[in-house]
Amino acid sequence: MPPTKPDWGPLYLAHRRPMYLVALSILRRSDLAEDAVQNAMESLMKNPPADVVNWEAMMVNAAKLRALDIVGSAPERHHGGSLAPELQPESGDQTPGEAVEAIDLLRRVQKLEKAMDVLTDREGQVLVRRVLREESRDAVAADLGVSPARVSQIVTAALSKLREALVDEDAA
Is residue 167 domain-resident?
A: yes
Reported as a pLDDT band with limits 50, 70 and 90, residue 112 is: confident
Number of domains observed in the structure of the chain: 2
Number of C-beta neighbours around residue 41 at 10 A: 20
pLDDT of 157 > 90? The answer is yes
* Percent of the chain residues topping a pLDDT of 90: 24
Q: 149 near 126, Cβ under 8 Å?
A: no
Helix (H) / strand (E) element for 38: namely helix 30-46
Q: Does residue 80 share a domain with residue 15?
A: yes
Q: Which amino acid is at 42?
A: E
pLDDT value for 149:
95
Residue 29 or 126, more confident? 126
pLDDT in tens, 64-85: 889 888 877 655 444 555 445 5
Virtual torsion, Cα 107, 113, 116, 117, nearest 10 deg: -110
Domain ranges, residue 30: 1-107
Residue (of 114, 87, 85, 115) closest to 102 by Cα position: 87
Residue 44 or 102, more confident? 44
What's 133's domain CATH number?
Answer: 1.10.10
CA gap 57, 95 in Å, rounded: 10
155's torsion region: left (phi>0), alpha (psi -120 to 50) or beta? alpha
